[in-house]
Structure 1
Amino acid sequence: MSLDQDTTLPLDHLVSTMEARLDAWRVLNAANRAWAATGAATGDETAKQAVEHQLRCLSSLEEFYAFPGRQFMGSLAELVAEGDAAAAARLSARLSAALLSKSYHNNPGEWDSDESSLDNADRLPPALNGNGGDKHRPYFEVLVVTPTPQTKWTEVSREMRRLRRPQDPFVYELVIVGSFEDAALGAILNPAIEAVVVFDGFHFASQHDVPLLHRFLEAHVPPGVADLTSEAMTPALVRMLKNLRPELDIYLLSDRKVEEMAANPELACVRRVFYEVEEPLEIHLSILDGINDRYETPYFDNLKKYSQRPMGTFHALPVARGKSIFKSNWIRDMGEFYGLNLFLAESSATTGGLDSLLEPTGNIKTAQDKAARAFGADHAFFVTNGTSTSNKIVEQALLHPGDIVLVDRNCHKSHHYGMVLAGARPVYLEAYPMMEYSMYGGVPLRTIKKAMLDLKAEGKLDRVRMLLLTNCTFDGHVYNTRQVMEECLAIKPDLIFLWDEAWFGFARFSPFFRQRTAMGAATLIKRAMAGSDYRSALEAQHREVGVDLDPADARLLDRRLVPDPDRMRVRVYQTNSTHKSMSALRQGSMILVCDQDFHHVEEAFHEAIFTHTSTSPNLQIIASLDIARRQMELEGYEMVMKATQLALIIRSEVNRHPLVSKYFRVLDLGDMVPAEFRRTGMESLTGTDWTKAIESIWNDEFVLDPTRLTLVCGSAGFDGTEFKGMLAEKYDIQINKTSRNSILLQTNINNTRSDVAHLMKVLVDIATGIEERLAAGGEPAVAAFRGRVAGLMKDVPDMPNFSRFHDHFREDTGSATSEGDIRSAFYLAYDEGSCEHVKLNSREIDRRLKSGPELVSASFVIPYPPGFPIMVPGQVITTETIEFMRKLDVKEIHGYQASRGLKLLTPKALAVQPVMRIEVA
């Protein structure tokens, strides 16, 4: 990969820079070996030219990494220029191996350019090698932006190395650049960079020809930065670096009035300001202190200390300290399996440094504050029994009985139960369907706006409390969160947003998807509120459609609406299944809050925590949430980019493989998102001009999370459940979600290229087996196979929409809006006399669908797949819902017992006037 390539590079090349770099080194190695074996001996220049070409491709990229660095790259270029093929091959092999293994992180010998030292790495003096004993010290790199001439950069690096001390907890090397654009390139391309030191006076333009990154820079850099003065360019660079990678520590060095700069609000995100280089040791110590601030895990650190203390346990937890296990004749194997530390770190006490999850005041509070910083929130709360509980905590805290909630009908069942508990009235919103794959996408913004405007027309807008959406959906649909919130706030300025980002927590650490997270979008909205763009756009809106938006004005549905910055309140909540995409133990979850009015609901919020949180939370889950935050702040950028790249590799390899693609296909953007929601026209996540991909991510109504891959298996004759079972039992591949004719694969920070290779081999083996069976079975086998495929891919049941709540659970039966009293329906079903059961395939069902009385569900009915309620308590059951259930071939349907039939509320119970209604708040 070369930085001076044209702008038509696919998205793959941008997210896969780290792997592309290693691949480029492997290509250089191969070219060097070929040259050493043949070219040098025969005098053939072709082999040498191949090496020179690959070396040129690498040289500009390597400017942004500390290793191999200028000295090694210069030595390699000299060897090639001199025609010493053997030495060039040895050196490139050595450097490639060090990069692949990352041995240069801890082995100082890798930094010695003398070939004779390869077997004697300790020759480097301690001041340079950074060797502080046997303890592993994490390695990172520091980006230095300076106007200092390149001829002095090597000396700058040496000066900083001389400051190393054996007691330093970390080791770092410098990457030095001289311009605004090169600083951006370094932050994007090099995930090992953890801190940035900015010297005043740098220039704007890169020393490289970088057209491929101009579009990306334009998205982060306001117009005209190139024309700014040196003084104004520094704050612009700081803001851009923080937009790209918020986790970076930034230090500023200047010969100007540093006291004024330190107090400048535009430089508030700078960790420390120094007066030029009068205190190089303080700069060094500050860099280490900044990394240590992220590295520190308050709860996990205290739990480790606690586990090593001699404790007498007189509390109700026999497994604490492990004596009941390791001294047992019968369960000692449990201790051998889990290890001693697990039990030494168990306790039911909240003293001795362990703190209380219900009322944290010590290290849990500090850990939560660090998590809030890492995820861009005002507050963070740890939850140890999953995001199902996180959702119910938020809903109980914020919703009053009678409040109206706009909610995706296909959201996780915990939200439906949360509304039952809170007594809220759901208005179910329909997502767009993908009938052929038996799944739903997201809820169009037009649908959301129409529901709000209808409620306004009915005089009920004041009761609308919350919009609740899943971002991203199980299948990977990601909303344009900022646009959704801004347009909804234009209609109702105090609307609360709950974004269920159970599967999307990792996106905070992707510069591409951060702005589509709840917290990322909330930050952008708050920042925009202070600017003039809102006000000028609002004035234009007032002139066109009036000040008070008229629900009867059809233009409002398709016009981009602008909120009033003087009236709107940014009230955003995000629930995050940390365990689903980060290194947390199962059921580790977080609630993230960005709410300008949180002080008004804080007491209710804590009361909801008391309601739903166990008084005996799992200490190991709390510690793992602390650890997950540390990892994502320090290496999340690299790991998320790698997970994204692996997903793109799978998409590309499956869909282009000549055999595998005959029977399997990974659905692409054009398959999963209708054209009306892709104004940029982008259809594929692979092989697409990445500048168009960035434009799509920035602007389209829906995009796909690339790490979630829907693999169609129906075209291979397998339904989703069958294929999932076969992968697990025969090939040791585990997946989670299925549909009628597909399975969902997902890459995460745990996956490697070896995993991808294993998956591809399995798919090739399965496809080969299909070919062999069809060939052996002849025409009858082919005909049977085609019939099976047609049944899975074409004879698919229509996806039923939510019908309506029965009039018994409606306050105003003449209303055009659809909110219903789900709580009353839920608890009415507790009365056995109010319920009946009717078999699904009975004539009674068909008769009542045709002639009445209406069938009204007494419970939630949730088939897996698709995994969302197709019936909720109080819902009128329609022919479409019954037909869908009859065509389902899944075994797991929550809320339905085939032996008894559908649980319904009886006509008699529904005829009785309700004794009590929940009063509207």
Structure 2
Amino acid sequence: MDKQAAEPQERRIDHFFSFPGARADRWRELHAAAREWEQGRGDATQMRALLEGIEAYEGFFAYPGGQLLASLRQRIDAGQAGAAATLAQRLSESILTRSYKSDAEDWDSGEILSDPPPGLNTPTLSRDQHHRPYFEMLVVAPGAVSRGRNIIEQMRRLRRSEDAFTYEAVPVGSFEDAIIAIILNPAIAAVTIYEGFAHDSTAPVPVLRDFLASAKLDAAHIAGDDLPLSLADALKRIRPELDIYLLSDRHVERLAGDLRASSVRRVLYSVEELLELHLCVLEGIDDRFRTPFFDNLKKYAMRPISTFHALPIARGKSVFKSDWIRDMGEFYGLNIFLAESSATTGGLDSLLEPTGNIKLAQEMAARAFGADHVFFVTNGTSTSNKMVHQALVAPGDIVLLDRNCHKSHHYGLVLAGGQPLYIDAFPMTEYSMYGAVPLSAIKQALLELKAEGRLDRAKMVDLTNCTFDGHIYNTRRVMEECLAIKPDLIFLWDEAWFGFARWSPFLRPRTAMGAADAISAWMRDPASVEAYEAQQKELGKKPSIEKLLETRLIPDPRQIRLRVYQTNSTHKSMSALRQGSMLLVRDVDFASVEAQFHEAVFTHASTSPNQQLIASLDVARRQMELEGYGLVANAIEIALDIRKEVNAHPIISKYFRVLGVPEMIPAKYRSAGFVDFLTPGADWEDQVRSMHEDEFCLDPTRMTLVCGTAGFDGTQFKKLMADDYDIQFNKTSRNSVLLQSNINNTRSDVANLIRVLLEISRKIETDLAKGGENAAATFAARVKSLMTDVPDLPNFSHFHEAYRWDAGKTTPEGDMRSAFYSAYYAEGCEYLPLDSPDVDTRLKSGPEMISANFVIPYPPGFPIMVPGQVISKETIDFMRKLDVKEIHGFERAKGLKLIRPDHAKDHIRK
């Protein structure tokens, strides 16, 4: 009982990160307790205490609702152990399986309750609604606690057989309860707000109140303001996908014209017929449910079409009539062939020049992701990145670039002729990986360019957010401080792994589009000009670079040209087919570059794009708008569960561990004081504060699992898990593997992972016990080689002077394009074996060794050499210590490919 007494504090309803699984766990606990009681090993007191804990938050969900909860309480109070156990089992199973969304019987207590409590009516869900998508609508109204049943019944009576969707109402009576409801309940897809509700919740929610105060949404900040409009704004800031309806008995015409009502989809006169509200709600859901391209593709597949174009596989005749490849048709099914065509007419539209359903699908994606424009890309985010470079970067433009970014950025600059100014990220040498680029390094580069009078050449800042290993930038701060130095900088944020973050209120502010939205709002606030002018007065006329580096710079909102581009690999974190990518644009000057942007699309996009990829991008947008919030919340919870189970397990933790925030991000980049997700006492407020204030945060869904302490290098462990246990990872380092939870994972996946790690750990212990001292010594030596004897990570050295013909004195940019194409002439290149004494001689006495190409070892996966770079001793030492088999751009038999020094000098003379 002591443990149970502590649970309300441990599982308070505003401890949001752990809630999705906690709700299911509590229902399982209640069911288990009911069975114990039924079998004579428990009592009604325990059942009553568990039910009280459940009732504290079930008011934020439509199911099981007040009627079924009252029925369960009546059985407990009446001492009906068997009836209580039966109902508890049904409710628990229905919540776990979500069968209540389609099965009317789940809502009915009549078959086990002969005498229902007075005043409770059985809900009526018709059988023909089983196939209809289900959602819930939050109703914020005064007196919702006492009027809740009437509100629910009132909305149910509006249902019609023609409705495409079915929904249940969730009534709450206060501002704070409305916020809690949309955070806890992912099934809420629409909100109806009446006037006259209170601000404060009757539940103890200190964490929520701290958050509302920090966001200026507490009672003190909005007292005297229009509470319904303030609530609508707050709900949209947390879950922008929600449709919000406002019912008022005031001058609705005037209210609808209020600029603050932009968060409201429709304003209705509350005394009028509610059928209009019902139809508006269904229309709003349908607006998100529609998938213009996918819908047309399905219709196209049903038409009897004769094809006289260059795609024999279309319609599937060449497959299903074949004696030799019919198995491919049987494997994939007929629809994939019926939905193929090389034509762009007949309702399918053209990806290169969309004017119909693809154009509409892209506009809907722009709305969903908070962009002005979205381009669908069917050959991966590598292509998306190259499109941006080609469209916006001209030969000679300087691009500030993370040296460790994806190779598509480097190749994009080769193609565009832009000059990379490489900036190194902070190293994590122990784990053979880099973090992210400190803001001070970016500012230093810009300020040095300015000091040399060359800031006009700086065109773009190009960064990866989040990094492969989960480091998330403070995107707003980076852009604001850079814009304070150069107001028209373009930003390219490669969010290949982070597209899902749009659907998390905790992560969204750190996305490119989320930060751009916040900066836009700040620019419109008159206080922004005051803040800028106050800082300028404090800095003085000619502040030193040192002073500017230590100051959190405020840009001039009157001068900013906000130009933000975001690429995301939709297929990496959403339900899109492989290579499905989106390019998001939030650029106030896009009209001036739109023509060249389309030229970049023509250059890089295929003239024969895959129809199924386009359709999957369309469908991925639909899913995320309608259920992305809950899916992402589940992915975060699963990741936190993995961290906890691995690091706390008495056996597994001896050999494996998931790195925490302190190991991934140095303390100097965490000014908010956040330590880790698993720190005792850490809660939602700590993480939210960190997300707003810290220079870097860690994506909770990305977990670095150290395997070197178990004697495995990353590549070896990845192969073991895939070959022997059917568990797949993506990225490895010398002594770790990367685990990534996503919207596809379940708690069963977690259980399987823990089972396998325990099996491997036990095998290690058994082998060590059998092998005696020799085995222990061998194991210790292996661990030492992986965890201690690690090579230092080489920073970027510099470009050879031959490729710095117009560079500044202090900044390290170079003409990588010329170096790249210099390597096309065999007579201008040479090879040196990596272990040749000549390498060491040239490092000491010259001539300098100039890389002729990109050299990218996997792992760690970043280019340790780029064309035109002078190869340093640190780079050679790193390569010699590498024990990986895959190094792109390096042939062991030939050695390092170098540009001959005399050939480089010819370039200088030219």
Q: TM-score range by the shorter chain?
A: over 0.9
* Contact 1:180–1:202, Cα closer than 8 Å, also in 2: yes
Aligned with 1:129: secondary structure? coil
Name the amino acid aligned to 2:66: R
**Which residues in structure 2 correspond to 1:908-919 (within 5 Å)?**
908-914=902-908
**Which residues in structure 2 correspond to 1:751-830 (within 5 Å)?**
751-812=745-806, 815-830=809-824
Which residue is 2:132 aligned to? 137
Of 864, 871, 882, the residue aligned with 1:870 is: 864
Cα 1:913/1:98, change in 2 over 3 Å: closer
**Which residues in structure 2 correspond to 1:212-251 (within 5 Å)?**
212-222=207-217, 224=219, 228-229=223-224, 232-251=226-245
**Which residues in structure 2 correspond to 1:96-175 (within 5 Å)?**
96-116=92-112, 128-132=124-128, 136-148=131-143, 150-175=145-170
Which residue is 1:43 aligned to? none
Of 175, 187, 208, the residue aligned with 1:192 is: 187
Name the amino acid aligned to 1:595: D
* Contact 1:131–1:166, Cα closer than 8 Å, also in 2: no
Q: Equivalents in 2 of 1:209, 1:417: separation in Å?
A: 55
Matched, 1:62 2:58: yes
Q: CA deviation at 1:212?
A: 3.1
Q: Alpha-carbon deviations, 1:280-332, whole Å to 9, x = none?
A: 11111111110000000000000000000000000000000000000011111
Q: CA deviation at 1:224?
A: 4.5
Cα 1:25/1:127, change in 2 over 3 Å: closer
Q: CA deviation at 1:29?
A: 1.2
Q: CA deviation at 1:35?
A: 2.1
Q: Alpha-carbon deviations, 1:212-247, whole Å to 9, x = none?
A: 322233344445556523x61111101100001000
Q: Equivalents in 1 of 2:259, 2:800: separation in Å?
A: 56
- Unaligned 5+ residue runs, structure 1? 41-46, 119-123, 917-921
* Contact 2:212–2:218, Cα closer than 8 Å, also in 1: no
Identity rate of aligned residues, in percent?
A: 60
* Contact 2:507–2:691, Cα closer than 8 Å, also in 1: yes
Q: Alpha-carbon deviations, 1:81-139, whole Å to 9, x = none?
A: 23222222221111111111111101111111213489xxxxx99992143266x1111
Q: Equivalents in 2 of 1:144, 1:97: separation in Å?
A: 27
Name the amino acid aligned to 1:77: R
Matched, 1:699 2:701: no
Of 614, 623, 634, the residue aligned with 1:622 is: 614
* TM-score w.r.t. length of structure 1: 0.95
Aligned with 2:138: secondary structure? strand
Cα 1:372/1:429, change in 2 over 3 Å: same
Which residue is 1:595 aligned to? 587
Q: CA deviation at 1:814?
A: 6.5
Q: Equivalents in 1 of 2:217, 2:55: separation in Å?
A: 30
Of 27, 30, 37, the residue aligned with 1:28 is: 30
Aligned with 2:347: secondary structure? coil
* Contact 1:220–1:243, Cα closer than 8 Å, also in 2: no
Cα 1:36/1:6, change in 2 over 3 Å: closer
Aligned with 1:132: secondary structure? helix
Name the amino acid aligned to 1:29: H
Q: Alpha-carbon deviations, 1:663-720, whole Å to 9, x = none?
A: 0010010000001001122221124233212211111110100110000000000000
Matched, 1:832 2:862: no
Q: CA deviation at 1:536?
A: 2.4
Which residue is 1:637 aligned to? 629
Q: Equivalents in 1 of 2:165, 2:5: separation in Å?
A: 31
Name the amino acid aligned to 1:493: P
Q: Equivalents in 2 of 1:571, 1:83: separation in Å?
A: 67
Q: Equivalents in 1 of 2:287, 2:443: separation in Å?
A: 43
Q: Equivalents in 1 of 2:157, 2:737: separation in Å?
A: 55
Q: CA deviation at 1:391?
A: 0.1
Q: Equivalents in 2 of 1:269, 1:623: separation in Å?
A: 29
* TM-score w.r.t. length of structure 2: 0.97
Aligned with 1:16: secondary structure? helix
- Segment drifting more, 809-818 vs 827-836: 809-818
Cα 1:6/1:95, change in 2 over 3 Å: closer
* Contact 1:4–1:210, Cα closer than 8 Å, also in 2: no
Cα 1:689/1:150, change in 2 over 3 Å: closer
Q: Equivalents in 1 of 2:273, 2:4: separation in Å?
A: 38
* Contact 1:6–1:211, Cα closer than 8 Å, also in 2: no
**Which residues in structure 2 correspond to 1:477-492 (within 5 Å)?**
477-492=471-486
- Unaligned 5+ residue runs, structure 2? 115-119
Q: Equivalents in 2 of 1:606, 1:764: separation in Å?
A: 53
Of 646, 663, 685, the residue aligned with 1:671 is: 663
Query: RMSD across aligned C-alpha pairs, in angstroms?
Result: 2.0
Q: Equivalents in 2 of 1:768, 1:356: separation in Å?
A: 57
Which residue is 2:89 aligned to? 93
Q: CA deviation at 1:5?
A: 7.7
Name the amino acid aligned to 1:554: E
Q: Equivalents in 2 of 1:430, 1:740: separation in Å?
A: 20
Name the amino acid aligned to 1:591: L
Q: CA deviation at 1:577?
A: 0.2
Of 362, 365, 369, the residue aligned with 2:359 is: 365
Q: CA deviation at 1:472?
A: 0.1
**Which residues in structure 2 correspond to 1:435-514 (within 5 Å)?**
435-514=429-508
Q: Alpha-carbon deviations, 1:853-893, whole Å to 9, x = none?
A: 00000000000111110000000000000010011111111
Matched, 1:891 2:885: yes
Name the amino acid aligned to 1:559: T
Name the amino acid aligned to 1:516: R
**Which residues in structure 2 correspond to 1:266-305 (within 5 Å)?**
266-305=260-299
* Contact 1:16–1:642, Cα closer than 8 Å, also in 2: no
Q: Alpha-carbon deviations, 1:330-387, whole Å to 9, x = none?
A: 1111100110000000000000000000000100000000100111111100000000
**Which residues in structure 2 correspond to 1:290-689 (within 5 Å)?**
290-546=284-540, 550=543, 552-687=544-679, 688-689=682-683
Q: Equivalents in 2 of 1:503, 1:871: separation in Å?
A: 24
Of 13, 38, 47, the residue aligned with 1:51 is: 47
Q: CA deviation at 1:730?
A: 0.5
Of 688, 708, 729, the residue aligned with 2:702 is: 708
* Contact 1:12–1:645, Cα closer than 8 Å, also in 2: no
